Amino acid sequence: MCTDENSLEEPSTPKPKKISQFYGENHKRSPLVERVEKASKKLCQEPPKINFRATLLGPTAVWKIFPVQVEALTFARTLDDDVRVFSYELRDSDVPGKRAYLVAHPLHLWNVLQMKKPSDRCMYEVIAEDDPCKLYFDLEFERKYNPGRDGVAMVDEMIRVVCEEWEELFGDPCGRDNVLWLDSSTDKKFSCHLILQKTRMFRDNREAGAFVRIVCEKMKNAAVAAEAAKKVSALSATRAARGNPLVRNRNGKEVLFCDEAVYTRNRNFRLFHCTKLNKDTPLVLSENDRYVRSLGKPYGDKDIFLDSLVTWPPEPRVRVPGPLLQLTTGDGRKRTAVSGTSKQNGVKSTASSAYPEIDNFIRGVISPRGTIRQVSHFVDTDTLVYDVLGYRYCENIGREHRSNGIMFVVDVNNGTYYQKCYDPDCRAVAFRSMARPVPPECLPSFWLLQISDDVLSGSDTVSPDVVGDEHQSSDAS
């Protein structure tokens, strides 16, 4: 008898049926899933709102979001100098390119960025108007319209010319080891940021832009001269062509590969490790960077992040390190460093004066938008000069200056103050406002009057109240 071969096999185990086969498909989504997806989408869209715990020696604890840039800048001016304004792109906005603005300490922002995936780090530093800043560059060109151009060689030449001009104008040493080189290049586009380190800062980004224009003009002139010298020396022409800062855009027009538009007021500058919206190329440390390697010590991404901030000083505890750099208009060659943080010829410049009551009074005069940039104390005459930010109202013209700052001068001995400014027209007529009285309680003479003549003369006779205070403090210790 023939046996069916298939009959010898073990019977197969029946497959379990899906629940939907019994009850039908449920097309309604779970409310829990919807809430989780909504929360996840919101987290990706904007930085989370976090309440940081303030510490005595730690960074300022603030995390506040604003829909408008001017509101964020105004709020930041009311806080300590260690906070900054940042912006981020909104994904689901009806207006393309719309941003929101965050006021926070850079370290707090860095910690939050580490919790987000790279494609969701779409954040920028707001280079606030009138804030001291490092020298920085945004260099880019499209490879399609510039075949054969060597971006690395162009940057090398740019750094060489920058350092040469820096040493000539300001007398400070400058080299490749001073330049932090960040890169976000792709197959389609060459793109990088350069930020000078361990150098003096400019008075603001407009002054930095003036220096950049000088450098670019010098490089353009060299390229033109090289073009004319082609018939004379092919070698010299080739060298100059490598550093030619002119590239072609998609319209076929020759433009600078250095973006000169990044030196306008309140400019947004992309942060380290961040991408543009809907892009996947973050700004990272270039393999051609020599700054980090020159430090000769372990240097983490957090340190690079802080160094990459254009308005973050090399020494965070010193708001303005060294004399600020300012370039005059005119022939482009008369440039001087102004301001300072050192004591020379009886002048001491610091972030605050020895008279905190007077400092607070001036803050009240220029609030809410203005802040004190630095105070110069002329010791011989006991005169204070307050250099301010964010407040430009000039009594000479009856309105704010568009680009030039103002100062307040306090005569401590006379108890008066007046306003002067940096505007060339106002300085030409030696303008200064009428003198106004400083509130008596802000002056050191006021507190001297509160001390009895017996104490000032060194008499042993003291009042019972004073004795009681001494005993009380002794017991407390």
Q: Is the pLDDT of residue 70 over 70?
A: yes
Scanning 352-393, the segments in alpha helix (DSSP H) are: 356-366
Hey, what amino acid is at 69? Answer: Q
For residues 350 and 374, give the distance between their C-alpha atoms in angstroms, rounded to a whole number. 6
Look at strands 284-285 and 179-183 and give their pairing.
antiparallel
Coil/strand/helix, residue 9: coil
Q: Nearest to residue 267, comparing CAs of 132, 126, 71? A: 126
Hunting for tokens 């779409």 — which residue is that?
Answer: 122
The backbone torsions φ and ψ at residue 258, rounded to the nearest 5 degrees and listed phi first, read: -95, 120
Contact 308/135 with Cβ under 8 angstroms? no
Mean pLDDT of 209-218: 90
pLDDT class for 174, splitting at 50, 70, 90? Answer: very high
Residue 53 CA: distances (Å) to CA of 50, 61, 207, 391: 10, 6, 37, 32
Q: What's the rounded Cα separation, in Å, for the pair 202 and 284? A: 25
Ranges 206-210, 374-378, 426-430, most confident: 206-210
Region 134-156: mean pLDDT is 95
The stretch 373-378 carries a mean pLDDT of: 83
Q: What's the whole-number mean pLDDT along residues 288-299?
A: 92
What DSSP element (H or E) covers 169?
helix 151-170
162 or 10, higher pLDDT? 162
Q: pLDDT per residue over 217-229, tens digit each?
A: 888 887 777 766 6
E-assigned strand segments in 59-172:
63-66, 84-89, 99-104, 123-127, 136-142
Residues pairing with 349 in the sheet: 376
pLDDT tens column, 128-137: 988 899 999 9
Query: What whole-number distance in Å separates Cα of residue 283 and Cα of residue 33?
Result: 34
Confidence tier at 389 by pLDDT (50, 70, 90): confident
CB atoms within 10 A of CB 272: 25
Query: In 3-state terms, what secondary structure has residue 36?
Result: helix
Distance (Å, rounded) from C-alpha 91 to C-alpha 98? 9
User: Which pLDDT value is given to residue 171?
Assistant: 85
Q: What's the token pair of residue 294? A: 């020159």
- What spatial distance separates the first Cα and last Cα of the chain, rounded to whole Å? 112
**Model pLDDT, residue 105:** 94
Q: Residue 205, Cβ neighbours under 10 Å: how many? A: 28
| 3-state SS assignment for residue 403 | coil
Q: Check residues 43 and 38 and name the one with the higher pLDDT.
A: 38
Beta bridge partners of 423: none
Q: What are phi and psi of 182, to 5 degrees?
A: -110, 150
pLDDT at 473: 35
- pLDDT at residue 437, rounded to an integer: 93
CA distance 139 to 179: 14
Q: Give the pLDDT confidence score for residue 469 in this predicted structure.
A: 37
Q: What is the mean pLDDT of the chain?
A: 79
Average pLDDT, integer, range 283-304: 94
Looking at per-residue pLDDT, the higher value among 326 and 179 belongs to 179
pLDDT tens by residue, 238-291? 555 666 888 999 999 988 899 988 999 899 999 999 999 989 999 999 999 999
Q: What is the pLDDT of residues 105-119, one digit of tens each?
A: 999 999 999 999 888
| Structure confidence at residue 100 as a pLDDT band (50, 70, 90) | very high
Look up residue 22 and give its two tokens. Answer: 């019994």
Q: According to the model, what pLDDT value does residue 219 have?
A: 86
| Lowest-pLDDT range of 158-162, 184-188, 397-401 | 397-401
Which of 18-27, 60-69, 314-323 tops mean pLDDT?
60-69
Per the CB < 8 A criterion, the answer to whether 399 and 393 are in contact is yes
Residue 84 has pLDDT above 90, yes or no: yes
Cα dist. 70→85, 88, 127 in Å? Answer: 10, 15, 12
Band of pLDDT at residue 230, cut at 50, 70 and 90: low
Which residues, other chains included, contact 144 with Cβ-Cβ below 8 Å and sequence gap of 6+? 188, 250
The whole-number pLDDT of residue 130 equals 81
Query: Using an 8 Å Cβ cutoff, are 192 and 151 in contact?
Result: yes
**Angle ∠(241,308,337) on CA atoms, nearest 5:** 75
Question: In whole angstroms, how far apart are CA 420 and each of 94, 291, 323, 393?
Answer: 46, 41, 20, 10
| Contact present, 413 and 402 (Cβ < 8 Å) | no
Is the peptide bond preceding residue 368 cis, with omega within 30 degrees of 0?
A: yes
Overall average pLDDT of the 293-321 stretch = 82
Question: What pLDDT, on a 0 to 100 scale, did the predictor assign at position 229?
Answer: 64
